[in-house]
A and B are shown apart, each in its own frame.
Chain A
Amino acid sequence: MSSNKIELDHKDMVHDSAIDYYGKSLATASSDSTVQISSIGGASAPSQLLATLSGHYGPVWRVAWAHPKFGSILASCGYDGRVVVWKEGAAGQWSQAHVFDNHKSSLNSIAWAPYELGLCLACGSSDGSISVMTMRPDGGWDSTTIEQAHPVGVMAVSWAPATALGSIVGSGELVQKLVSGGFDCVVKVWAFVNGSWKLDSVLPSDMHTDCVRDVSWAPVLGLAKFTIASASEDGKVVIWTKGKEGDKWEGKVMHDFEAPAWRVSWSLTGNILSVAAGSGDITLWKEASDGQWEKVTKVEP
């Protein structure tokens, strides 16, 4: 990779960037109300702007690629309270497959569910509710809502991995859980039970003393426990772990950045956590031994 920088055509701040499943396309969300899709070039081919999607009437906070099992699908959410599901048709033409505008406040976070659960999208809003939209086989969409998930506003949502630990009665049982963080300084886990979303557990609330900016559920690919990372305005990043079903969540402060911690995201194998904090600083962390996390500073030159 000869180039490590892409000059986008965005005219304003870029809030989110996402690489698609195979690592070839990059989607960026910006305050200029657009989502741009670029190819990630290699040594022989430079990056190219493939499409500019205009459908939001305000800053776009997040973009998320769906699993390629459903085709080339991208979701975006923004300040205008809308979620747009984009679909790539023939010859690289993108169109709006669906638009959700049920929320009357800024939509701060979206997350696609694991592909085992179908094409399903969770959205967290500043009006305090979380919506979960599911596409039916006939192409329509169903929506369920968790009202007042966080009284002052939802900042982030993240899905649990679909494969369960512990209580397996059959090979087909799937986990359908969400974690959310909000302005009330609390991290909550929700479970879809008997056709509706229920509060599964409230993680100990004394770990964060300011609003929770982001939560991220680590992919359980080999590790025998659930792991959630949460980032807060108070500068702390907390790692929550739980062993089997029925155990309690335990939180441990991974690091105190002493500056707002904005976002956390896991690598695809779940062994490295990236943290965006302060005025644009990025650090990488990995678990060294039981419960201890160490900073990784090696990035390819």
Chain B
Amino acid sequence: MSSDPVFPVLRHGDYFTKPSIDELVEREAADPGYCSRVPDFVVGRVGYGRIHFPGDTDVRGMDLNGIVKFGRHSVEVYKDEASKPPLGQGLNKPAEVTLMLNLSVLPEPSALGELLKCQTRKQGARFVSFNHSSGRWKFEVDHFSRFGLVDEEEEDVVMDEVVVRQPIAEVRDPPANGHELELSRSLPAHLGLDPAKMHEMRMTMFSNEEGDEDMEDGFPSDQRYFSSEKMNVDSPNSSAKGLRLRSLSPLHGSSLKVSRRPGVIGRREPQALLEYSVNSSEHGPSSHGILMSGQNKGFPVRMTKVDGFKLPSDQETPVAGNVYSNCVVDAALFMGRSFRVGWGPNGILVHSGSLVNRPGTGLSSVIHIEKVAGDKVVRDEKNKIKEELTDLCFSDPLDLHRRLHHEYLETESDLFKLKLQKVVASRFVLPDICRSYIDIIERQLEVSDLSMSSRVLLMHQVTVWELIRVLFSERATGNQLEPTGDEDQEGMILDKKEGTVAIDLEALPLVRRADFSNWLQDSVCHRVQGEAGSLNDARYLEHIILLLTGRQLDTATEVAAFRGDVRLAILLSQAGGSMLNRSDLSQQLDLWKTNGLDFDYIQEDRLKIYELLSGNVQGALVDSSIDWKRYLGLIMWYQLSPDASLDIIIHSYHQLLGEGKVPYPVPVYIDEGPLDESLQWSPGDRFDISFYLMLLHANQDEKFGMLKTMFSAFSSSYDPLDYHMIWHQCSILEAIGAFSSNDLHVLDLSFVYQLLCLGKCHWAIYVILHMPHLDDAPYIHEKLIREILSQYCESWSKDETQRVYIAELGIPVEWMHDALALYNEYYGDQQSALENYILCGNWKKAHTIFMTSIAHSLFLSSKHQEIWDITSSLEVHKSEIADWELSAGIYIDFFILRNSMQEKSTMDDPDQLEKKNESCSTFFGRLNDSLIVWGSKLPVEARACFSKMAEELCELLMNSPGEGLTPDLYMGCFQTMLNAPVPDDHRSSYLQEAVSVFTDILCRD
């Protein structure tokens, strides 16, 4: 008997064949060679299905369990591509497949039949029948691979490539229990690296992950690769997958994705044959087909087969050679731990690591696309973008900013000029400006669905603008009085006027102080009311203290009077007034202490009130927690004298702050909450912008050292990328001369970034034009603007409003067309690229595109007028274009020459013909030279174009009247035509014509 195996192997009990293995043995003994031609061979699995192979089948030596895999509702044959025989051999041949469907997990049986028909057809099989009661589904297949290289299958192959080339993008989140497995790579043996040593090296380098089981998978040896431990590791995955498959409801439209591991492709579980969906419109081309081999899934057949990490034998490697033994392979790269984040426009991130804010999921071959949120401010509480918020947060404030009075500074660089802008405003118009900004903010507050934290911030912005008005605005002084009457009356009026002016000037600081006091009361009013609401009537003294912290003296007095506490009411009505009164009260308290008065008989709250009214703020509030604004107010109202100036008040608070005796002026989103996200914040990070404004005012004309901190986003917003309001505040304050700075580029650029993320390129450019001019970087504005125009070309060019606005800003139109031209050329729109290059004055580029992409197609389409228009506009600048005479100039001269030949065709003049001949000869020479100069840059159509030119001219030349011409001239014309770049068949016809004419000439003699 031959040593070759004869009988197939069947290792699993639930698989069966017909004839059975035993019967095959018997028949082979009775009839040698029977196994090479088994008629009507059947292989199947109990309860799952069967495959019937009509005709004779060669089953010798087959490992049937390795070849055929029945899964629930699916079957796969020859999953391993390497072991699949050619078409028609082994089991890779026509067959009839029967699958037993489990009807209990499938949709309505009546509809199932149609689904199965569609599914069968889509996967290249032929539907035979479906039994609704038994669930038996029959279909026929021609082979068990979709990529057989047979001519009749070519169309199918192409279609399948299109289908399988589209990876399915996962919309849903990955399942909670499934984590993406870290990919591992097999270590190529021919590198000569010792896997054990490599593993040790790796454990040494990354010792913190010594116990990680996944790490060990990084370096499996060939033996370990197929060890039983490996199989055991796979088992839970298989079970988990089975569970997931069973738990899928019929409404699920797609199967779950599991990251593929190259080494375990051979053991991949069969995919579900059907994607059960009641809604047929959800049916898309499936990337997993019936009976497809696993190896081929997802790859077109013509794709170069990549076996992984292999180097050809002739390729030198750093490890194999001795010369480069000192080179160290980058361990992180080699072991696959290093990866990089790629940035795109609009703040888009691409990377293969963990999601931002979700660390620890490790690396994979899944690419994540995330976007840095610069537009948090335009989203409502459901995190959806509101278009009206975009207008109210960005467009309206910038429109307002634009309408303010501007100073312009022209910068000139190369050929272009830019008009840098700067807002200038007097302090007299500041109230109107602040009022306008407040109006915009109040309109934002009317938008529905705003989150609570957004409302808090918006309310705060209103108070900030009010504070700017209070601290920095000035009011007009002195009313003009009309002098009337006699001399005496006039003198009297002048005296009055002078007195008014003097009084106003002296009173201005006091007026500002009063305004500030009112502002402070208004800004803390809501907190006083909020806390007062929780007090009951029995604690009226506590209530009075609360009212005093908000300087609501009238209300406090009423409360006391209502309670019949007349003497307290009298004291309260004079609170914060005369320093003498405070001194008296303080002396009284000291007297009580000196005389040993037992304070147990006076309520503690009453004592606090007395302390406060005496000016001892610290003494009154030693055990109270109070916000910083009210504490500032308490110092202002009860401790310092009524005529203390604002800067004294603010400096006093700042000094006490340094000593740690007063509350820290925290930003409003920390102070008042609530927050949508948790923040990492610690005291000392920064102040609220209100406090910065106060410090700025108190600083007077000295240099302010906290500008950068003041204008970082965190001063007014918990969103570190939100600069939409603070930029305006900075701009207005600088406009009125509150400060002057050349060092706030971070603020400007961050706002530009935010605007670009929203696609507002025109506003971004507007902000750039407000950046100050720097001698160190004079070209920064041009650089920035051109970069934005170029990179965000698609965004602004499709928005007519933005285009118009950018032009109105004085941005050179050439820059816009330059960006458009580059964009069009990159995406293959040569026609538009040409137009834009012409408009931006890039004549060389326009000319090149015209010659290589445009001219010939226009000519062959007989659009001569367009050619003429383009070449005429280019001709004006031909001195800047190389080889004009051999390039676009050819088209101009062609039209001129052709017209002249047509015009004079009726004249019977030998001299004219001679001139035509010379012109044509010169022109044909240029055509030939042009073809040489442009070489391979010219497409075939361009050569056809030149050929057509030559043909037309030859035609005109041949049709010229030839009566009375000398033979030399006649033959000269033909000589010219033979030099034309025309096809050979035309040239041969010219030659025949020449011979004919020559023969006539000979016969005539």
Contacts and interface: CB of A to CB of B under 8 A. Distances in A.
A57 B312 contact: yes
Nearest to B173: A5
A265 B745 contact: no
Contact of B794 (A22, A269, A288): A22
Nearest to A82: B315
A72 to B, nearest CB: 7
A26 B787 CA distance: 21
B370 A300 contact: yes
A269 B750 CA distance: 9
B262 A11 contact: yes
A240 interface: no
Interface in B259-282: 260, 262
A83 B677 CA distance: 45
Nearest to B186: A12
A26 B2 CA distance: 58
A61 B333 contact: yes
B351 A282 contact: yes
B725 interface: no
Contact of B338 (A104, A165, A213, A300): A213
A120 to B, nearest CB: 18
Contacts of A298: 372-373, 376, 719-721
Contacts of A52: 303
B352 A22 contact: no
A262 B332 contact: yes
Interface string B322-356: 01101111101110111111111111111111111
A300 B363 contact: no
Interface in A21-45: 21-23, 26, 28, 30-34, 38, 40-41
Contacts of B783: 163, 221
B749 A276 contact: no
Contact of A5 (B344, B363, B367): B367
B169 A289 contact: no
A68 interface: yes
Kindly name the residue among A17, A224, A272 whose own CB sees the greatest number of chain B CB atoms within 10 A: A17
A263 B169 contact: no
Contacts of B339: 13-17, 262-263, 276, 280
Nearest to B780: A222
B360 interface: yes
Nearest to A274: B341
A180 interface: no
B183 interface: yes
Contacts of A171: 413-414, 779
Contact of A281 (B183, B333, B360): B360
Kindly name the residue among A38, A48, A79, A289 whose own CB sees the greatest number of chain B CB atoms within 10 A: A289
Interface stretch (B595-603, B770-778, B926-934): B770-778
A13 B261 CA distance: 10
Contact of B353 (A28, A221, A280): A280
B328 A152 contact: yes
Contact of B356 (A48, A288, A299): A299
Contacts of B745: 222-224
Given A22-B791, A32-B262, A298-B376, A280 B362 contact: yes
Nearest to B353: A280
A79 B327 CA distance: 12
B interface, how many residues as a size bin?
35 or more
Interface residues of A, number: 109
Nearest to A50: B165
Interface in A241-278: 244, 260, 262-263, 265-272, 274, 276, 278
Contacts of B326: 152
Contacts of B309: 31, 33, 58-59
Nearest to A69: B822
Nearest to B781: A222
A271 B754 CA distance: 11
Kindly name the residue among B166, B303, B348, B362 whose own CB sees the greatest number of chain A CB atoms within 10 A: B348
A296 interface: yes
Nearest to B358: A281
Given A54-B304, A290-B708, A19 B342 contact: yes
A27 to B, nearest CB: 8
Contacts, number: 357
Interface string B274-310: 0000000000000000000000001100011010111
A30 B365 CA distance: 8
A267 B343 contact: yes
Interface string B158-194: 0000000111111100000000000101000000000
Kindly name the residue among B323, B357, B362, B823 whose own CB sees the greatest number of chain A CB atoms within 10 A: B357
A10 B365 contact: yes
Contacts of A41: 169
A153 B720 contact: no
Contact of A288 (B311, B346, B414, B714): B714
Kindly name the residue among A281, A295, A300 whose own CB sees the greatest number of chain B CB atoms within 10 A: A300
B371 interface: yes
A286 B997 CA distance: 85
A38 B350 CA distance: 12
Contacts of B709: 289
A80 B333 CA distance: 13
Nearest to A245: B776
Interface of B: 165-171, 183, 185, 209, 257, 260, 262, 298-299, 303-304, 306, 308-312, 315-316, 318, 321, 323-324, 326-330, 332-334, 336-357, 359-373, 375-376, 383, 413-414, 677, 680, 708-709, 712-714, 719-721, 743, 745-746, 748-750, 752-753, 756, 768, 771, 774, 776-780, 783-784, 787, 791, 793-794, 822-823, 825-826
27 contacts: A3-B171, A4-B369, A6-B367, A7-B167, A7-B169, A8-B167, A9-B299, A11-B260, A14-B367, A15-B333, A17-B342, A19-B343, A22-B794, A33-B306, A40-B350, A54-B306, A68-B822, A68-B825, A128-B327, A163-B777, A262-B340, A265-B342, A268-B345, A290-B708, A297-B677, A298-B721, A299-B355
Given A69-B822, A106-B330, A163-B779, 13 more contacts: A2-B171, A5-B169, A7-B167, A31-B336, A33-B308, A57-B315, A80-B311, A106-B327, A163-B777, A280-B362, A282-B351, A299-B349, A301-B383
